[in-house]
Amino acid sequence: MRKLFVTLGDPAGIGPEIIVKCLAGLSPLGDVEPVVVGEREILEETAKALNLNVRFCPDDSPRQGRIKVRSLGLLSPGDYEIGKLSALCGNAAYHYFAHAVEACLAGEAQGIVTAPLNKEAINLAGHHYVGHTDILEKMTGAETVIMALVHPKLIVSHVTDHLPLRKALDHITVPRIKEVVKLTWSTLVSTRTPTPRIALAGVNPHAGENGLFGREEIEVLKPAMEELKAEGFPVHGPFPGDTIFLQALQGRFDAVLAMYHDQGFGPMKTVDMANGVNCTLGLPFVRTSPDHGTAFEIAGTGLAEPDSMRAAWELAVKLLPQA
């Protein structure tokens, strides 16, 4: 039996709701067992409020049609206010995730599906990270960690992600581009196609216009492409960032390398927030997440849609090594 941890995220956000809604639709589970890392009491109250017949049990109990939960005892439902930012919830969200990462590194599970945490809340709690990817990079010691957005029609991998734009330009290098291409290539081969078509978005307007608007395309991107081609990884471009995503969505490419955070996230979240999945490449285990945040403004209303969480679960199952 393969195992996936599902982390609760920030309990004051929509994490508990989208987890319960997602799990309610997973029957039968097949050979992949979910174990929620969070608090069983919070999940039970959420299921009751949503009038969903999802039953939970401690993770050391027989499943018997129930969803296992590894409760860490950090919070009870009355300890916080739903929809409100707090260090208490930020601390809990951090520890739920950190516990799952440590357990995966110890071989207890093969991957993690993460409900959203709130960056401000975890920093208020004294955990100074900019999100899941930053935590993963520090905890796993992985040499190359890549933030990718996976959509049914397209994968977008980021050469840089949570960096100020001025700093991001310094991190767009030949070695980094090659690493991102190779990890994206292997992901496409394992999930979609044996012959990936990968395009590079330019850094500058009009992909630099032959040096008129900048030289990164000439001095960094094209040399990286030449080296990749020589190593058996032919890629296309660089193309202007304002047109390449449309071309890819129309079927010309399977993946696009975005050079900085908003270059990739903006188009993909505009196209389809519901079915997008945030996937971290380069880890020793699988990690996926819905492509949205904690949505405090609708937390506790029952309005949160579980589509992206469900897509994150399905992608994680697809990426898991075979038993």
Percent of the chain as helix, strand, coil, to the nearest 5:
40, 20, 40
Please give the chain's pLDDT, 323 residues, in tens: 899 999 999 999 999 999 999 999 886 667 899 999 999 999 999 999 999 999 999 999 888 889 999 999 999 999 999 999 999 999 999 999 999 999 999 999 999 999 999 999 999 999 999 889 889 999 999 888 899 999 888 999 999 988 999 999 999 999 999 999 999 999 999 888 899 999 999 999 999 999 999 999 999 999 999 999 999 999 999 999 999 999 999 999 999 999 999 999 899 888 876 778 999 999 999 999 998 899 999 999 999 999 999 999 999 998 888 76
User: In 3D, which of 26, 41, 31, 22 has the Cα closest to residue 2?
Assistant: 31
Domains of the chain: residue spans and CATH: 1-142+283-323 (3.40.718.10), 144-277 (3.40.718.10)
d(CA 66, CA 281): 31
Looking at residue 60, the DSSP 8-state letter turns out to be: T
Encoded amino acid at 105, one letter = L
pLDDT value for 20: 97
Residue among 173, 136, 149 nearest 261 (CA): 149
- What's 210's DSSP letter? T
Give the Å distances, CA to CA, from 97 to 202, 270, 287, 312, 318.
34, 28, 11, 16, 21
Does the pTM surpass 0.75? The reply is yes
Look at residue 273 in the predicted model and tell me its pLDDT.
66
Predicted local confidence at residue 74, as pLDDT: 97
